[in-house]
């Protein structure tokens, strides 16, 4: 069977744009795979919100991120992009994050050039480290991987800090350092996104954050520009937050969920999503004869 890392590498270099949803736990990841997506991305913004109920401002630790990553990878068979944040330290820390992400089952990881504590790429108040320091982090990440098809993506947040020219300069340097793919965060117009694709020669990721700094472009538009990948990292958590807000408000007002049933997945269908039928079939193979007899008596 082809390794997931090899599958992802092939998809990133294919003519067709790869569309990837953001996930933040095992359940959202399973639903993304069942919807037919060929990959998913775990973003710190959604993980921070779901695990801590806090904004993406550097509160999450490496271990908390890796724990979420492993749960997501264990629940799916598709390639998963990991969010490596800043690497949680210097180049030596980056080496450890890469090894741990590979062991967790990820197929790719990106590292950003923000100072710690970092912020979501579409928030104000970001700062970036020197270009040379992040070059060393990218080199360390590449040298640390054990699977040559494991994707190392370099992200720069310099557009919002120093302008597009510096972001392009940094992306070129990270490409020369050996990054497999590039990600310029928060370009502020379609023209900027088009220029990025014209100037850079590695597979590029576009980040679609609803109501963020970057215009919400279609997959067809991004593919025509030359992007290899588009991700929607916060769409799921925004949709879930809206659904829960409406559900809980209605439950509080009415004292019942009777009028909410049309907005819920039924019991049996949800059990199918989380794999209960497969569990029951597998369980039958290990049932001892005495357990089977006991079960028969209990049904009498």
Q: Which range is least confidently modeled, 37-41, 93-97, 148-152, 158-162?
A: 158-162
What count of other Cβ atoms lies within 10 Å of the Cβ of residue 253? 9
What total of structural domains would you count in the chain? 2
Domain termination residue (choose one: 233, 254, 286): 233
Query: pLDDT by residue (tens digit) across 33-91?
Result: 999 999 999 999 999 999 999 999 999 999 999 999 999 999 999 999 999 999 999 99
Distance CA 251, CA 254 (A): 5
Domain with 293 in it: 265-300
Q: What is the pLDDT of residue 71?
A: 98
Q: What is the pLDDT of residue 287?
A: 86
DSSP letter string, the chain: ---HHHHHHHHHTSSSPEEEEEE-SHHHHHHHHHTT-S-EEE-HHHHIIIIISS-SSS---HHHHHHHHHHHHHT-SS-EEEE-TT-SSSHHHHHHHHHHHHHHT-SEEEEE-BPSS---TTSS---B--HHHHHHHHHHHHHH-SSTTSEEEEEE-THHHH-HHHHHHHHHHHHHTT-SEEEE----SHHHHHHHHHH--S-BEEE--TTSSS----HHHHHHHT-SEEEESSHHHHHHHHHHHHHHHHHHHHS-SGGGGGGS--HHHHHHHTTHHHHHHHHHHH--HHHHHHHHHHH-
Q: What is the pLDDT of residue 260?
A: 96
| Domain at 136, CATH number | 3.20.20.60
Say if 252 falls within a structural domain. Answer: no
Please say whether the beta carbons of 182 and 171 come within 8 A: yes
Query: pLDDT by residue (tens digit) across 160-209?
Result: 999 999 999 999 999 999 999 999 999 999 999 999 999 999 999 999 99
Say if 240 falls within a structural domain. Answer: no
Counting residues of the chain whose pLDDT is more than 70, the rounded percentage is 96
**Tokens 């801590």, residue?**
52
What's the whole-number mean pLDDT along residues 138-157?
Answer: 98
Give yes or no: residues 191 and 96 share one domain: yes
What's the whole-number mean pLDDT along residues 92-116?
Answer: 97
Give yes or no: residues 131 and 73 share one domain: yes
- pLDDT confidence bin for 119, thresholds 50/70/90: confident
Query: pLDDT by residue (tens digit) across 253-283?
Result: 999 999 999 999 999 999 999 999 999 999 9
* For residue 243, pLDDT beyond 70: yes
Give yes or no: residues 99 and 163 share one domain: yes
Give yes or no: residues 225 and 296 share one domain: no
**Tokens 């990837």, residue?**
20
Give yes or no: residues 121 and 210 share one domain: yes
């Amino acid at each position: 069977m082809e390794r997931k890392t090899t599958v992802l590498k092939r998809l990133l270099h294919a003519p067709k744009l790869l569309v990837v949803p953001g996930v933040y736990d095992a359940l959202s990841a399973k639903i993304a795979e069942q919807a037919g997506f060929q990959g998913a991305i775990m973003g710190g913004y959604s993980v921070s919100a779901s695990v801590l109920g806090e904004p993406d401002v550097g509160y999450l630790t490496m271990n908390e991120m890796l724990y979420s990553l492993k749960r997501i990878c264990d629940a799916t068979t598709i390639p998963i992009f990991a969010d490596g944040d800043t690497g949680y330290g210097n180049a030596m820390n980056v080496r450890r994050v890469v090894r741990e992400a590979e062991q967790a089952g990820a197929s790719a990881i990106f590292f950003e050039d923000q100072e710690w504590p970092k912020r979501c790429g579409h928030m104000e108040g970001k700062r970036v480290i020197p270009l040379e320091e992040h070059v060393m982090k990218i080199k360390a990440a590449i040298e640390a991987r054990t699977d040559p098809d494991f994707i190392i993506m370099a992200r720069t947040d310099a557009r919002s800090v120093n302008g597009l020219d510096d972001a392009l300069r940094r992306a070129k340097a990270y490409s020369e350092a050996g990054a497999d793919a590039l990600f310029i965060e928060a370009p502020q117009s379609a023209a900027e996104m088009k220029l990025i694709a014209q100037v850079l020669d590695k597979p590029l990721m576009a980040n679609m954050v609803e109501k963020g700094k970057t215009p919400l472009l279609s997959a067809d538009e991004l593919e025509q520009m030359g992007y290899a990948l588009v991700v929607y990292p916060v769409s799921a958590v925004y949709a879930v937050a809206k659904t829960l807000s409406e559900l809980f408000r209605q439950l509080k007002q009415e004292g019942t969920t009777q009028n909410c049933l049309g907005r819920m997945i039924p019991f049996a269908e949800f059990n199918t999503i989380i794999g209960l039928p497969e569990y029951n079939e597998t369980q039958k193979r290990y049932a001892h004869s005495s357990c089977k007899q006991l079960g028969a008596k209990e049904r009498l």
